[in-house]
Amino acid sequence: MIDVIIPATNKKEVEKVINHLISLGDFFGKIIIVDFDKSSPSMNFKQIEELNNHVDLSYIFVTEQAYFNKSIAINIGYELVVNEYVLICDADVLLDKAFFEIAFDVWTTNQFIECVFSPEFVIESDNGEVRKGPGICLLKSAHFKKVAGYSSDYLGWGMEDVDFLKRLEYIDVEPRKIAHAIHLSHSDEVRTRNYHCDSVSQMRLENRQLFSQKHESHNLYGTLFDDFKHVCREVCLC
C-alpha cells in the first residue's frame, strides 16, 4: 500500500485532494497532512473527523517556524510512514487513477525494480496549460530514507523536488514519467504568501544556485534526520 504525504499550509483545496484519492480505490494506507499554520489550518477538526471515517488520516502541525518549508513538511510527514511505498503529493493536485495502476503494474512485474514515478505532465485547471510535475513522486519508502529525504536547505519556492530526484539518480533509482495530473490553478500570490520572499523568480534563482553548488560534489543526502531531531511539531488528536 501507499502512504501519502501532503504539505498543506493555507491550502483549502487539500480536502478535495484527499476525497479524490479516496475515490480512486484501495491504494492507500495512511494520508499524512503537514501544516505550518495552526492559527488558520487547511482543514478544521470536523473535516478531519469526517475524512477519518474513510481513510487513516494523520494531521501534523509544524511549530516554531517563521515560514513554510516544503522539505521540512515532507520529512516530518515521513516520520509516520509505515507502508512500503510513499507518495509525495501537492495539496492542489489531482492524480489520474492510471498513475497508480501503471506504477503497480511495473512493481508487480518486477518487485526489485528501482524507480520513482512522476506524472508525465500536469494540466492547469483554469486554462489547460501543460507543465511538468516533478513535485509529485511515488517511490519505495526505503529509497526515500536511503537519500535522507528532502533537503530543507532550499528556502522558499522551487528546486527541492529536482534536488530530491537527482539524489535518487545517484543511488540508481530511475525516474519514470507516467500518466498525468490536474493542478487546481491559483495565483503567484497564493504560491508565495507563506514564504520569506514574494518573488517566485528570485526564490527560483537562489535555489538554482544552491542546487548547482550541491551537485558539483554529488551531494547525496537530504536533511531528514536533522529535521526529525530539531523541528518542533504536534500531531493533531482529532
Distance CA 201, CA 207 (A): 10
pLDDT of residue 195: 57
Short-list 111, 165, 156, CA closest to 138? 165
* Residue-level pLDDT at 2: 98
Do the beta carbons of residue 23 and residue 97 sit within 8 Å?
no
Classify 89 as helix, strand or coil.
Answer: coil
Q: Are 93 and 133 in contact (CB under 8 A)?
A: yes
Residue among 42, 51, 48, 60 nearest 23 (CA): 51
| Helix (H/G/I), strand (E/B), else coil: 23 | helix
**115-124 and 174-183: which strand pairing?**
parallel
pLDDT string in tens for the chain (238-residue length)? 999 999 998 899 999 999 999 999 999 999 999 999 998 999 999 999 999 999 999 999 999 888 899 999 999 999 999 999 999 999 999 999 999 999 999 999 988 899 999 999 999 988 889 988 878 999 999 999 999 999 999 997 789 999 999 999 999 999 999 999 999 976 555 555 555 565 677 888 889 999 999 999 899 999 999 999 999 999 986 5
Q: What domains are there in the chain, each with its CATH number?
A: 2-235 (3.90.550.10)
For 163, the grid coordinates are 534536488
Per-residue pLDDT of 95-145, as tens digits, reads 999 999 999 999 999 888 999 999 999 999 888 899 888 789 999 999 999
